[in-house]
Amino acid sequence: MIISKQKNWDAYITGLAVFLLSASLLMLEILFTRVSKVSFGNDFKFILLSFAILGIGAGGMLVYFFIGTGMFRDNFGKILQFSTISYSLLLLTPFLILHYFTDDQPLAKLLFFISTLLVYLVWGVSISMVFTSYTEKAALLYFFSMTGSAFGAFIVVSLLDAFGASKTIIAAFFISFLSVFLFNLNKKANKRLLFLLFLFFVAFSAVLSNKFSAYSDIVCHSSQKPKFSDTNSFSQIDMYDAYQLQQDGELFIPATYVTLDEILNDVKLYGIGIDCSGRTTFIEFKPEKLKLLEKSVKIMPYTFRNYSNGLIIGSGAGIDVVMSVLAGVDNITAVEINPLIIGQVEKITGKNESLDIYNHKSVDLVITHRRHLSLILSI
């Protein structure tokens, strides 16, 4: 029989569990959007949001239609435990699918969206069962659910910017699994289960922390493995050396009549992929070695007029800034939204800061969104 009256402190612990469940779900919604954009090259928010509504709603309907059955009623606690544990484990599945099926895009999309729908469905079952158990505390649980959702939306962006996608996925798993302990914390009959869950959580977390990053990295559909990858809340960057890009036919050198070997004899050249679709080029700033770039068609506008000021929006790894400096522009404002790209340029140049075009005396780097550009320029 479902127990409708609970002690207040038990209800608050359950509310905290709901808080964690809701936080993890909002984290997943943003993570699913981010990784699908990288893996598939398109924005699928409209599908993921629709699947969230469909899955959660279907989970609630399942509980509504089966709550009156004897099997469901007599095993209510076990079903709640199973659904919450299943949710924690299933939330990892979509990310593993994207990692291992990247070379088969149609199959990857099919499995990814089916698995996300299943995650939402199990979450809907879990949360509906909790609200069914605590009907008298529904307002309190709703408060915890809403605040948990707000917390999840806030923390996932902070975690992505600080630690990248893989560690943020692990954090979402940790948060969701903590709710399992809270749901069982005050049930004396489940002390043994709680202990087993704790052991499983510790063991699985240890494996997850050491191995999951390698298993969950979202890789681009390419024959070349990047030298370096990093993510934040709005992009993933992958660094390739020039010969890798040449093999894929994707080398972006803004020059004509210049061979790769002519350039690489003197300077280092890298391509930085952005969300597996865009590309920006880094080249070491060695003015005496870059005369070959004067053959580039991008130099042509500077031959018609001598510019004293220049504005480059979306400067990326700095190749367009290099061209402007070589053309003799004295005052250049370079605007780039992605700090990961700028950070990677700094890593490549290392201690020799003169090789970083953004350290040139004629260049003023601004890391911001172009929407804020008018305010910056007015100042």
Number of domains in the chain: 2
End residue of a domain, out of 154, 186, 216: 216
Please determine, for residue 71, whether its predicted confidence score (pLDDT) is greater than 80: no
Facing residues of 367 across strands? 336
Backbone angles phi, psi at 235, to 5 degrees: -165, 160
200 and 232, same domain (yes or no): no
Residue corresponding to tokens 């990247």: 102
pLDDT score of 58: 94
Q: In the numeric block, which tokens belong to residue 83? A: 């659904």
Residue corresponding to tokens 């069982």: 184
pLDDT score of 53: 93
End residue of a domain, out of 216, 247, 280: 216
CB 357 within 8 A of CB 318: yes
Half-sphere exposure of 316 (CA within 13 A, CB side): 19
Helices (H), the chain: 8-40, 45-66, 70-74, 76-90, 93-100, 105-133, 138-163, 165-184, 191-216, 242-248, 260-264, 300-304, 319-326, 339-349, 373-378
Task: Kindly report whether the global pTM for this prediction surpasses the value 0.85.
Answer: no
End residue of a domain, out of 192, 216, 240: 216
Choose between 128 and 277: higher pLDDT.
Answer: 128
* pLDDT tens, position by position, 293-327: 766 677 777 777 777 888 888 888 888 888 888 88
Q: Can you say whether the dihedral through the CA atoms of 298, 299, 305, 306 is positive or negative?
A: positive
Backbone angles phi, psi at 236, to 5 degrees: -125, 135
* pLDDT tens, position by position, 14-68: 889 999 999 999 999 999 988 888 888 777 788 888 999 999 999 999 988 887 6
269 and 337, same domain (yes or no): yes
User: Which structural domain range is residue 253 located in?
Assistant: 228-378
Mean local confidence (pLDDT), 333-362: 87
Q: What is the DSSP string of 279-337?
A: EEEEE---GGG-GGGGGSGGGHHHHHS--SEEEEES-TTSHHHHHHHHTT-SEEEEEES
Q: How far is CA 282 from each of CA 53, 221, 347, rounded to the nearest angstrom?
A: 43, 22, 12
167 and 287, same domain (yes or no): no
185 and 286, same domain (yes or no): no
DSSP strand pairing (278-283 vs 309-313): unpaired
Tell me, yes or no, whether 223 lies in a domain: no
Least Cα distance to 238 among 209, 217, 254 occurs for: 217
3-state secondary structure at position 41? coil
Helices 93-100 & 191-216 angle (0-180, nearest 10): 30
95 and 140, same domain (yes or no): yes
119 and 170, same domain (yes or no): yes
162 and 251, same domain (yes or no): no
Q: How far is CA 126 from each of CA 76, 174, 196, 304, rounded to the nearest angstrom?
A: 11, 17, 20, 68
Q: How far apart are the first and last CA of the chain?
A: 68
Please determine, for residue 373, whether its predicted confidence score (pLDDT) is greater than 60: no
Tell me, yes or no, whether 33 lies in a domain: yes
CB 65 within 8 A of CB 3: no
Please determine, for residue 222, whether its predicted confidence score (pLDDT) is greater than 70: no
270 and 171, same domain (yes or no): no
Cα dihedral: 226, 228, 229, 230 (round 10) = -170
165 and 309, same domain (yes or no): no
Q: What is the DSSP string of 54-78?
A: HHHHHHHHHHHHHTTSHHHHHTHHH
Tell me, yes or no, whether 180 lies in a domain: yes
Percent of the chain scoring above 90 in pLDDT? 18
Q: Which CATH number covers residue 101?
A: 1.20.1250.20
- Residue 98 pLDDT level (bands cut at 50, 70, 90): confident
Please determine, for residue 241, whether its predicted confidence score (pLDDT) is greater than 90: no
CB 292 within 8 A of CB 263: yes
DSSP strand pairing (228-231 vs 363-367): unpaired
Mean local confidence (pLDDT), 343-365: 87
CB 167 within 8 A of CB 176: no
193 and 334, same domain (yes or no): no
